[in-house]
Amino acid sequence: MAEGTIKKLTDKGFGFIDVGSDKDLFFHSNSVEGTSYDQLREGQQVTFNEGRGPKGPCAENVTVS
Gyration radius from the chain CA atoms: 10
Which CATH number does the domain housing residue 54 bear?
2.40.50.140
pLDDT, tens digit (0-9, with 9 covering 90-100), for 5-59 = 999 999 999 999 999 999 999 999 999 999 999 999 999 999 999 999 999 999 9
Which residues form the domain of 50? 2-64
The answer to whether the beta carbons of residues 46 and 5 sit under 8 Å apart is: yes
Instruction: Give how many domains the chain has, as a whole number.
Output: 1
- Cβ neighbourhood burial of 6 (10 Å; 0-12, 13-18, 19+): buried
Give the number of other CB atoms < 10 A from CB of residue 23. 10
Q: Quote the pLDDT of residue 60.
A: 98
- The whole-model pTM stands at 0.94
Determine the distance from the C-alpha atom of residue 12 to the mean position of all C-alpha atoms in its chain, rounded to a whole number: 14
Distance CA 10, CA 36 (A): 14
